[in-house]
Structure 1
Amino acid sequence: MLDVLPPSPLSVRQHVQPLIENHGFWPVIKAAFAARRNLRREAKHARSLAHLSPHLRRDVGLPPEAPPEREYSRWLP
């Protein structure tokens, strides 16, 4: 079986250092904060999809939620 992972895990510094050398410290920091902000926006948008009706969820391509069960016990003796 082939090993696709490097023998030792790379640290964050080993990934970020070439970026800083090529682009500079402040552009890399700005890009990191922008990526974090975009992740928060996407998470907030994903939470807002939970309140869609089953018809809209189906139109968007999401699985429709099961309809709530009716309470038949109040009509039974």
Structure 2
Amino acid sequence: MADEPENPRHRVDRKTLEMLVCPITKTRLTLSDDGTELISIVARRAFPIRRGVPLLVLDAARKVDEDEIENLR
């Protein structure tokens, strides 16, 4: 999937992103630099965005290491 060209229909609207919160902590999420994940600094989890849909479930999230968290602050 990473090799697929970006489809404009699969972009997440900025206004929508502002309304989303971490499903674990209910705190604000940060969009990753490459726009492929929403990161919860408090929960230290990164939730993927697939085809424009944020997957805000713990099973889909990856753990974020301390160095990556520091770079986001």
If the length of structure 2 is used for normalisation, what is the TM-score? 0.21
Q: Which has the higher contact order (CA 8 A, sep 6+)?
A: 2
Please identify which structure carries the higher strand content. 2
Structure number with the higher helix fraction is: 1
